[in-house]
Every structure is written in C-alpha cells, then in structure tokens.
C-alpha cells in the first residue's frame, strides 16, 4: 500500500515535469517565431522612421543630386498593382479551389489542376517575371502596370486555390446534405453554404497570398518596370514600393539608402494595415455564440 502511493507520487512528479518541459519548449518555439518579426520591425523603425515626413508621402522621387523627394508615386503604384492582382487572382483562385473541393473529386482534370497549382507555387518569382515579360510586355512592346498586376495575380492563384480547397474540405458533409435536402441545387450549396462556412480560412489564405506578393520585386522588374514620375495609367510603366526600395538600396548615396529604409517601413506597415482591415471587415456581422 505504502509502496503503491509512493510510486504514484513519483509518477505524478514525472508527469508534471514532462508537462512543464513540453509547455516550456512550445513557448520557446513561439518566441523564436516572433523574434525575427519584432527585430525586423524595430530595425526598420530605427533606420527608417527619421526619413519619414510629409514629403515622403506627397512627393515623387527627387532627381539625382537633389535632396528631398518622396515615394508618393510608388505607394500609389503598389496600391494599383496589388488591387489589379487581387481583382484577377482572388476570384480565379477561389473558383478553382471550389472546383477542386466540390465538383472535381476523383476527376483527372482536378488532379491536373492540383498538380499545376503546386508546381506554380514553387516557380521562382523571377521566372514568373520573365514569363510575363515574354507573354505580355514583348507583345505590347512596352512595360505596364497591367503586366505587373498579371504577374502578381498568377503568383497569388496557387496559394488561394489550395487554401480554398483545404478549407472547404474541413466543412462537414452533413451541412452540405442539409442544403441539398432542402432542394438547394448543388452549385448554390457550394457557394452559399460550403464557401460561406469556410470563408474565414479562405480569407486568411487570400491575405497570405496578398502579403506575399505585396513585397515581390523580381516579377515587377520585367513587367511594371518602375517609374520616377507620376503615373496611374495601367498601360504605362508604373512605380512600386519594392522597385523603388531596390533602386535606392543599390545606389551609392546615403540619403537614398535612408529613403530605402523608410520605404521598407512603409511597405511593411501598409501590408499589416491592409491585412488587419480585411480581417476586421470579414469578422463584422459574424454572430456571437456559434461554434
């Protein structure tokens, strides 16, 4: 009896120790994940915040040799390219994901689409830039915001498609049956029931894809090209934050280096703000108390 209680106590101590060890390791891993993000943000603020002033947001870049100037055209340009990329990439990506999850089960076309999406996801972004360069820029004989948007859209599609498919797969079959049993056609069930139920996860996927392409430089080098002047014309070369940061960062001038830091800070903050806004908007109207 005495022996038994003692061994039970020992076992308990061991279980508790293991519990603390595993919990501690998870916390440590979490910190390791957060650390680089916090470090980057701090470093950007440290290096870039001083160069941020009103002119940065209202002026176009100053010519070589003159001081001052800003990135207003790059901020607007990035906004235009990303809007175009999202308008093209999000609907196509989601539609393909719905096909894979709701209609294509076990079909050869679905297998092909899934495989293509996975390969496309692994294509280096510079290759995507060259591909769009030969497909659009060479045909049109000029760089354009449109070509940049298409390049980024194609990079968004595979992530969105696969996330959509996986999120739809987590929607319980019983919910689809509930809709079908009410005489709702299958396409309507897929859109109004399955897709709507899976939408929080799908929105996360879209935001991931958005954030990933928002900082892309390589595919824009050959497509949007960059622009030192104001342009909001889709058919003309357009400025973009990553491109401007790239140009400034490889320049020999100290002031341009500081502007590059400031541009990086603005880029990261803009990505964080847009992701947060979409999340807030998407969570509006979600009813409390649901599971």
Partner 1 sequence: MGVGILVENLNAWYGSTHTLQDINLHIPANHATALIGPSGCGKSTFVRCLNRMHETNPIARATGTVKMGDLDIYKDASPVEIRRRVGMVFQRPNPFPTMSIYDNVISGLKLNGFRNRRILDETVERSLRQAALWEEVKDDLKKKSGASLSGGQQQRMCIARALAVDPEVLLMDEPASALDPVSTSKIEDLIFQLKSQYTIVIVTHNMQQAARVAENTGFFLNGKMVEFDSTHKIFTNPRDKRTEDYITGRFG
**Six token digits for residue 101:** 């999850």
Q: How far is the CB of 103 from partner 1 (least distance, A)?
A: 11
Question: What residues have CB less than 8 Å from 174, skipping those under 6 apart?
Answer: none
Q: Which of residues 231-290 bind partner 1 (CB under 8 A)?
A: 286-290
Nearest to 79, CA basis, from 256, 231, 282: 231
Task: Compute how many residues bind partner 1; rule: CB under 8 A.
Answer: 27
Q: Which of residues 112-151 bind partner 1 (CB under 8 A)?
A: none
| CA triple 36-40-46, angle to 5 deg | 145
197, 228, 236, 251: residue in contact with partner 1 (rule CB under 8 A): 197
DSSP string, 148-185: HHHHHHHHHHHHHHHHHHHHHHTS-HHHHHHHHHTT--
Residue 165 · residue 102 · CB < 8 Å: no
120, 180, 234, 278: residue in contact with partner 1 (rule CB under 8 A): 180
109 binds partner 1 (CB under 8 A): no
Q: How far is the CB of 101 from partner 1 (least distance, A)?
A: 14
Residue 73 CA to residue 53 CA, distance in Å, equals 15
- Region binding partner 1 by CB under 8 A among candidate stretches 8-16, 82-90, 120-128, 185-193: 185-193
139, 182, 254, 280: residue in contact with partner 1 (rule CB under 8 A): 182
31 binds partner 1 (CB under 8 A): no
DSSP string, 59-90: -PBPPTT---B--HHHHHHHHHHHHHHHHHHH
Closer to partner 1 by CB, 32 or 286: give it. 286
Q: How far is the CB of 177 from partner 1 (least distance, A)?
A: 7
Q: How far is the CB of 186 from partner 1 (least distance, A)?
A: 8
Q: How far is the CB of 120 from partner 1 (least distance, A)?
A: 28
Residue 21 CA to residue 15 CA, distance in Å, equals 10
189, 227, 244, 264: residue in contact with partner 1 (rule CB under 8 A): 189
- Region binding partner 1 by CB under 8 A among candidate stretches 51-59, 77-85, 95-103, 171-179: 171-179
Beta bridge partners of 69: 61
100, 147, 193, 224: residue in contact with partner 1 (rule CB under 8 A): 193
Length of the chain: 291
**Six token digits for residue 151:** 């390049």
Which residues of the chain form contacts with partner 1 (CB under 8 A)?
105-106, 172, 174-175, 177-185, 188-189, 192-193, 196-197, 199, 286-291
């Amino acid at each position: 009896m005495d022996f038994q209680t003692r061994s039970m106590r020992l076992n308990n101590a061991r279980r508790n120790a293991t519990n603390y060890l595993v919990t501690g390791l998870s916390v440590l891993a979490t910190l390791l994940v957060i650390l680089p993000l916090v470090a980057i943000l701090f470093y950007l603020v440290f290096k870039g915040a001083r160069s941020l002033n009103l002119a940065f947001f209202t002026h176009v870049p100053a010519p070589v040799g003159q001081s001052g100037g800003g990135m207003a055209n790059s901020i607007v340009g990035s906004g235009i390219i990303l809007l175009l990329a999202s308008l093209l990439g999000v609907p196509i990506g989601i539609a393909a994901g719905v096909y894979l999850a709701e209609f294509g089960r076990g079909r050869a076309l679905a297998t092909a689409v899934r495989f293509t999406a996975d390969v496309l996801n692994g294509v280096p972004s510079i290759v995507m830039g060259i591909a769009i360069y030969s497909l659009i820029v060479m045909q049109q004989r000029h760089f354009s915001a449109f070509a940049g948007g298409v390049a980024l859209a194609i990079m968004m599609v595979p992530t969105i498609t696969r996330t959509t498919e996986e999120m739809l797969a987590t929607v319980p079959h019983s919910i689809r049956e509930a809709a079908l049993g009410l005489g709702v056609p299958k396409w309507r069930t897929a859109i109004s029931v399955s897709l709507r139920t899976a939408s929080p996860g799908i929105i996360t996927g879209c935001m991931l894809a958005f954030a990933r392409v928002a900082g892309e430089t390589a595919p824009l080098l050959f497509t949007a090209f960059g622009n030192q002047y104001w342009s909001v014309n889709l058919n003309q070369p357009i400025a973009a934050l990553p491109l401007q940061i790239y140009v400034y960062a490889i320049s020999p001038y100290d002031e341009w280096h500081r502007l590059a830091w400031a541009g990086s800070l603005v880029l990261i903050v803009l990505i964080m703000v847009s992701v947060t806004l979409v999340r807030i908007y998407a969570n509006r109207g979600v009813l409390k108390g649901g599971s």
